[in-house]
Structure 1
Amino acid sequence: MKAARFYDRGDIRIEDIEEPTPAAGEVLVKVAWCGICGTDLHEYLDGPIFCPTHHTPHPISGETAPVTLGHEFSGVVEALGEGVTDLTVGDHVIVEPYIIDDSVDTGPESKTYHLSKNMNFIGLAGRGGGLSEKVAVKRRWVHKISQDVPLDQAALIEPLSVGYHAVERAGEIKPGDVALITGAGPIGLLTGVVLKALGATVVISELSELRRQKALESGAADHTFSPAETDVVAEVSKLTDGRGADVAFECTSVQPALDTLFDAIKPTGVIVVVSIWGKPASLEMQKLVLKEVDLRGTIAYVNNHPDTIKLVESGKVDLAPFITGRIFVDDLIGQGFDTLINHNETAVKILVTTDEQRLTEAQG
């Protein structure tokens, strides 16, 4: 079967590999669509980061490079391993793509398994990936979805879960709350639609005119401003009668954006840092102290997929506007990675398939 394999920085190859078979307790998923994530781009440009090297196996998966990429994917159940009785061949599913040690509690009440030692992801550290025809996944990480949800949109439930968890980390969101987001990339936009579904008024600060337009057209934001052209703090003050934003989300990993949030947040407000920072940030501690601001981090998701799926199935979130491209796996680098690296203003989420007929039907 075809698969996109990460060998090393700048070295991803489309190869034919052996099809997996589901072991006891596993589900064989025929992949429909897989999104290209910013993490995939970082591996290509700067890796290996999450991916193992050729000489150092991942401590849980035991795999070394090359590994199959892709962790934002949807598909159809093709076969069930021994002991799996609560799914049926033909079910539509998505995958919560974790690689976590078997000793860690991943039950429905756990709130910390995503922070466990050596945590990693299917499609980065081994165990197959969504940029292939099929993948065998432990039953725990497979989530059934309604067949009313198109499979291309279902592939966005994984990044939507990141936004859902970020909003959860902020605490209770009440209808009428004003939320400020810096950055209208995929995660900023998807965080926005979660907030909108909860009744918040969403303001996005974003330099790119195209991204600001997408935020409005997709329903991810009520108001957008360019920090290069507008005093974002003043605009938020106007919108809140001088109170300041109730909650804020940092989705850029850029220092001026973080500074803006501290100036725009209300006293006792919450700032959630969603972006991955590759360098230290500075913080005017006096602003945090004198406004009693809560500064919180968030990473990935933890038991958020069921509620995120319900949000999509209910129709409160429409993921279709965020799909800006569909390509065949052979074009992964030229039409996928190149666009997202060099022309990222023009794209939000590019989906990849190994099924030429599925691609033709989607484009037709």
Structure 2
Amino acid sequence: MKALRFHAAKDLRVEEIDAPAAPGPGQVAVKNRYVGICGTDLHEYAHGPIFIPTEPHPYTGVSGVQILGHEFGGTVTAVGEGVTNVKVGDRVAIQPLIGPRTGEYFGERGWLNLSPVLGLVGLSWNWGGMAEASVLNDYNVYKIPETLSDEEAALVEPTAVTVYACDRAGVKAGDSVLITGAGPIGILALLTARAFGATKLFVSDMNETRLKLAQEIVPGVIAVNPMKDDLVKVVQANTQDNLGCDIAIECVGNDKALQSCLDAVRKQGTIVATGVHPGVGKLNFFDVTFKDVTVKGSWCYPAHSWPRVMDLIASGAIPSKKVVTKKITLDDAVAEGFEALLDPAGTQLKILIDLEA
């Protein structure tokens, strides 16, 4: 079968490999349908290996050449002994977190994202979404609602990221929310905050094309290019008593964007860092104390969130499909997918690879 595999930074290859063997006990075989290119995949391509292990992973045992892709769905083609949650023919969405579910504090509570031996499909597992088929653990595979499309199945994972971020932030009806970063996660965070009841939305980015896309996808959002306008003044001018926003969610992984969140949020507001920051960052902790704010991290999502997130998408509450700007074939994935998303012009948001095209 055909698969896109990571060998080294700037070395992705579409290769013919053996199809996976029949699923073992507790495993499920899936014919992959659509897979999204995530920011994590881009970082691996540009600078990796980062999350891809160079030594055997402590839980999965995987290392080296890796089939990428953790935002995907497909159709069940076979199930192993003991599998009861799905059957052959079911359309499914993949929850990619892998870890012990017994004998470990976080795993027993469904918080695989916090496991000290966390593994991920498409990064530290034998199979990933950027291939024609995969074999997964039964707990990684969720049957999707009839009203959820195949494309939307591939968007459950990034939407789960923003649902968890808004949960961590405590977004509620009537809140004002700033999102820094108008990429796919940033715009999904806007859609999620609106679904949670936020009534005043702001987004900041230096890319004018993405700001325009944010305004098209989320009508009424106040878009700010901090290189042209004073973000703090814009937020204050559009919030009660010029206090600043209630909540700020950082979706870039950039120190300046995180500091902007602190600058723009009101006293006793909440800041959530969703972007992954490389190395030791800087934040003005005098203002953290002086403004009496709450600063939280948000890493992935709880493994048990898939049914809720699928319902939010299927119901139309979070129209995740709006962030998709392009569909491509697996053969074109490097040039028209990875390279296009790394283009500083940033004309694309979410690119899906159609594995049947």
- Give the TM bin, normalised by the shorter chain: over 0.9
| Secondary structure of the structure 2 residue equivalent to 1:283 | coil
Q: Hey, what's the Cα distance between the residues in 2 that align with 1:63 and 1:113?
A: 18
1:125–1:161: structure 2 CA closer, same or farther, 3 Å change rule?
same
Measured after TM superposition, the shift of residue 22 of structure 1 is 1.1
Flag the 1:289–1:106 CA change in 2: closer, same or farther, 3 A. closer
> Where does the alignment leave 5 or more consecutive residues of structure 1 unmatched?
357-364
Query: One-letter code of the match for 1:164?
Result: V
Offset at residue 105 of structure 1 (A): 5.6
Aligned letter for 1:30? K
CA distance in 1, matches of 2:290, 2:306: 37
Residue segments in structure 2 that go unaligned for 5+ positions in a row: none
1:1-364 counterparts in 2 under 5 A?
1-20=1-20, 21-53=22-54, 56-101=55-100, 103-104=103-104, 110=109, 112-171=111-170, 173-200=171-198, 201-219=200-218, 222-241=221-240, 242-302=242-302, 303-343=304-344, 345-356=346-357
Q: Which moved more, 1:235-244 or 1:293-302?
A: 235-244
How far 1:111 moved relative to its partner?
5.6
Contact preservation (8 Å) 1:131, 1:353: no
Worse-superposed segment, 109-118 or 3-12: 109-118
Q: What is the one-letter code of the residue matched to 1:130?
A: G
Q: TM-score of the superposition, structure 1-length normalised?
A: 0.92
8 Å CA contact 2:93, 2:142 repeated in 1:
yes
- CA deviation vs aligned residue, 1:192-235 (integer Å, no higher than 9, x gap): 11101011021101111111111111127621111112121112
| Structure 1 residues 149-180: Cα deviation after superposition (integer angstroms, max 9, x where no partner) | 21112211101101111111112x22110001
Look up the SS of the partner of 1:59 in the other structure.
Answer: coil
- Once residues 30 and 105 of structure 2 are traced to their aligned partners in structure 1, the CA distance between those partners, rounded to angstroms, is 24
| Aligned AA (1:187) | I
Task: Map Cα deviations across residues 253-296 of structure 1 (whole Å, 9 max, x no partner).
Answer: 33332222212111111100111111322222221111111111
> In 2, Cα distance between the equivalents of 1:344 and 1:23?
45
Helix, strand or coil at the partner of 2:148? coil
The answer (yes or no) to whether the contact 2:32–2:131 under 8 Å persists in 1 is yes
Question: Structure 1 segments of 4 or more deviating over 4 A?
Answer: none
Q: How far is 1:104 from its partner? A: 3.3
Displacement after TM superposition at 1:50 (Å) = 1.0
> TM-score normalised to the size of structure 2?
0.94
One-letter identity of the residue aligned with 1:72? E
Residue 207 of structure 2 contacts residue 345 of structure 2 at CA under 8 Å; is this kept in 1? no
| Aligned residues with identical type, % of pairs | 38
